[in-house]
Amino acid sequence: MENNKLQELTQKLYNEGLERGRAEAERLVAEAKESAAKIIAEAKAEAEAIAKAAEDRAEDIAKNAMADIALAGRQAMTKVKAELAEAVIMKTTGAAVKAATADSAFVKDMLLAMANNWTSSTVDVSLKALLPEEKRAELDAVMQASAAELAKAGIEVGYTKDIKTGFKLGEKNGGYYIAFTDESFDALFKEYLREKVSNILFK
């Protein structure tokens, strides 16, 4: 009888221990699952944050690259337009300017026009025009034929080897001259025509 009670008590203790062990194991498993789920959720959130940051960064880089490409395109287009306008101006005016400054009648008319518009504090302006020595033979005939007209305008004509094209004009005793060479006429016409040519070509 006592043997049976002892056996029952042993069985009862075993069953209770087994039950407690099973409950503890289930609790530990549940905690482990909960901890694992939390770690997985945190890792997933971190991975999503990293992916989002990488995506935002890639988008920023793409936007910046497109902005740089667009800017470079606009700069290239502006440069091409300016060079094209310059080429048109050179093609249309270069030869004409050279021809005009080499034309004796044009040079004489320019001298007279400038003398009529010369500003000076004195009433009688005395000007000296310096012409290219190399062109003396071509220019002399026109200048001599217009000597009276030039004298009336207060212009004395001289020649110098320092000038290859065009002429220089200044007050006779002023000590300075204003140059009207191919280059200065080119610069003047280019400045005047640049906007007009651009408008014709690109608007």
What domains are defined for the chain?
103-202 (3.30.2320.30)
| Adjacency order of strands within the sheet including 178-180 | 155-160, 127-132, 167-171, 178-180
| Per-residue model confidence (pLDDT) at position 175 | 67
How far apart, in Å, are the Cα atoms of 162 and each of 75, 130, 132, 181, 184?
Answer: 41, 9, 7, 11, 15
State the DSSP H helix or E strand holding residue 26, giving kind and residue range, or none if neither.
Answer: helix 2-102
Query: Could you give the residue ranges of the DSSP H alpha helices within 103-135?
Result: 104-117
Alpha-carbon distance of 180 to 127, in angstroms, equals 15
> Higher pLDDT residue, 14 or 57?
57
Of 127-131, 169-173, 176-180, 193-197, the one with minimum mean pLDDT is 193-197
Region for 185 from its dihedrals, namely left if φ exceeds 0, alpha if ψ lies in -120 to 50, beta otherwise = alpha
Q: What pLDDT was estimated at residue 163?
A: 80
| Positive/negative CA dihedral, 9, 13, 16, 19 | negative
pLDDT of residue 128: 83
pLDDT digits (tens, 9 = 90+) for 79-92: 766 666 666 656 66
Nearest to 86 by CA among 190, 200, 4: 190
Kindly report the average pLDDT of the chain as a whole number: 75
- CB hemisphere CA count around 22 (13 angstroms): 6
H/E stretch holding 44 reads: helix 2-102
122-162 pLDDT per residue, tens:
556 688 888 888 888 888 878 888 878 888 888 888 888 88
CA distance 141 to 100: 17
Tens-place pLDDT, residues 44-103: 888 888 888 888 888 888 888 788 887 877 786 777 666 666 666 566 665 655 655 567
> For residue 168, what pLDDT band results from cuts at 50, 70 and 90?
confident
Lowest mean pLDDT across 15-29, 34-48, 132-146: 15-29
